[in-house]
Amino acid sequence: MAESAELVVVGAGASGCMAAIAAAEGTGRRVLLLEGGPRPAAKIYATGNGRCNLTNLVQTAACYHCRPEERSLADSVLNGWPNDAMMDFFSERGVLLHDRDGYVYPRTDQASTVAACLLRELDRLQVEVRTGEKVRSLCLRTERSGIRTFLLQTGRNTYEAQSVILACGGLAGPQYGCDGSGYRLAASLGHTVREPLPALVPLRCRPSEGTSQAAGIRCIAEVRLLIDGREAGRETGEILFTDYGLSGIPVLQISGMAAGALREQRQVELCLDLLSGISEQNWEQECARRLETAEQNGRSTLGDWLLGLCPDRLQALVLGSRGLVREKKVYKTGSYLLPEILRDLRSFRMEVTGTQGPDRAQTTAGGIPLAEVSEEMSSRLVPGLWLTGEMLDVDGICGGYNLRWAFTTGRTAGRAAASALTGQEGNA
């Protein structure tokens, strides 16, 4: 026997919790929140390295990747619940916020504060949260009276609902319950799914001599993304060398573009300026000085000669790409190579061979076309169905934009779904 609810929200992540809260608040609607995993809001605890970077004071169109033809819809959705209003939502509920260079966090710097706030609200509004209820199928049934209801099947139960909000996330973070099953549920009702790819994800690079030694080194660098030899993006910040390739915010920022180009089998390279911030003039002087003194001391090694420019293990990586080692005597190194070694430090190339998997991604590029929902997040194909968050083909850059998108779309869908419910008025 199917259990019935007016509104079922599938997925208790950022957007699903927010949708359920918005639907229940002030409407008296009976809202059921089904979560496939063992606990609600599991991913939120891991966000922002455990601090939850929930939004950003800087909000421009460039912070959200979407198809050009869907840009104005994305803007309307975001403007529908402005950033300030979203921040007020949390601070009015006791979650004081602060920012670092525009990146907004709870004042406690604990992601658990944000998760606890959402869970407390769900409890206060008597939203019934059921965990371990992974929705396996979703279909529409038309009653004899002509009324259409949704049937949701989990491993344990069958539910019947007038409206359904799908808030299942994308494929980023399978360890938090996101396995792309939301796409299959939406597709089963006729929605399109643009190929989902991991985004904000570390990049795998072709290993070279010195790669393993460099693993673990962090440095400030300018990272240029080259696709078929042409610059497609540029970011500066702290990068992290790993045994498989590169990570760090600048790398994550360009990873979505890199993933798309790799899918099209184009050549993808990173060009690193490992001495970013040194002006051209200072650099020219520095090079001239090092080249002049290079061979004066017969005992001097390449490691000695490069001293002070970058960490030893990074020297090993850069030299290794030319088949050289730090221990080699400078005077035994072809003098034509010395200026090239210095140039390498400012334009060190690494070939990108792939991305890390979804378990290392923070979000998903691709998904359900935004054009298939309205400004209120209702499906344009299936009346009574609503779609939110990462399931949609909008992905934010690093800096709090993905949670902002998730919370905003969740709130919009929840409110609109509650007010669109047919039948009796809510009792509040």
Ligand X SMILES: Cc1cc2nc3c(=O)[nH]c(=O)nc-3n(C[C@H](O)[C@H](O)[C@H](O)COP(=O)(O)OP(=O)(O)OC[C@H]3O[C@@H](n4cnc5c(N)ncnc54)[C@H](O)[C@@H]3O)c2cc1C
CA dist list (Å): 377 to 13, 161, 386, 387, 391: 17, 18, 6, 6, 11
State the residue for tokens 């998904």: 367
Shortest distance, CB of residue 188 to ligand X, whole angstroms? 11
Closest CA to 57 of 88, 20, 100: 100
Please identify, using beta-carbon distances, which residue of 37 and 320 lies nearer to ligand X: 37
The answer to whether residues 163 and 7 touch, using CB atoms and an 8 Å cutoff, is: yes
Shortest distance, CB of residue 331 to ligand X, whole angstroms? 50
3-state secondary structure of 227: strand
Give the footprint of ligand X on this chain (CB under 6 A): 10-16, 34-37, 42-43, 46-48, 52-53, 134-135, 167-169, 172-173, 176-178, 181-182, 362-363, 389-390, 400-403, 406
Please identify, using beta-carbon distances, which residue of 172 and 370 lies nearer to ligand X: 172
Please identify, using beta-carbon distances, which residue of 81 and 401 lies nearer to ligand X: 401
Please identify, using beta-carbon distances, which residue of 137 and 293 lies nearer to ligand X: 137
Please identify, using beta-carbon distances, which residue of 210 and 400 lies nearer to ligand X: 400
Shortest distance, CB of residue 364 to ligand X, whole angstroms? 8
Round to whole Å and give the CA distance between 242 and 212.
Answer: 8
Closest CA to 388 of 371, 373, 366: 373
The DSSP symbol for 87 reads H
CA dist list (Å): 337 to 4, 62, 259, 342: 75, 41, 34, 9
Please identify, using beta-carbon distances, which residue of 86 and 275 lies nearer to ligand X: 86
Round to whole Å and give the CA distance between 321 and 271.
Answer: 13
State the residue for tokens 């080249």: 291
Structure tokens at 151: 């049937």
Please identify, using beta-carbon distances, which residue of 172 and 318 lies nearer to ligand X: 172
Q: Find the length of the chain.
A: 428
Please identify, using beta-carbon distances, which residue of 176 and 241 lies nearer to ligand X: 176
Q: What is the DSSP string of 35-79?
A: -SSSSTTHHHHHGGGGT---EES---GGGEE--GGGHHHHHHHHH
Residues 6+ apart with CB under 8 A from 5: 30, 31, 32, 128, 159, 160, 161
Q: Which residue is nearest to ligand X (CB)?
A: 13
Shortest distance, CB of residue 370 to ligand X, whole angstroms? 14
State the residue for tokens 């407390």: 120
Round to whole Å and give the CA distance between 122 and 33.
Answer: 9
3-state helix, strand, coil in the chain (%, to 5): 35, 25, 35
Shortest distance, CB of residue 118 to ligand X, whole angstroms? 11
Structure tokens at 163: 């409206």
Round to whole Å and give the CA distance between 99 and 74.
Answer: 24
State the residue for tokens 């047919």: 422
Please identify, using beta-carbon distances, which residue of 45 and 283 lies nearer to ligand X: 45
Phi, then psi, of 296 in degrees rounded to 5: -70, -35
State the residue for tokens 């088949």: 323
Please identify, using beta-carbon distances, which residue of 118 and 261 lies nearer to ligand X: 118
3-state secondary structure of 207: coil
Closest CA to 260 of 215, 201, 326, 317: 201
Please identify, using beta-carbon distances, which residue of 166 and 262 lies nearer to ligand X: 166
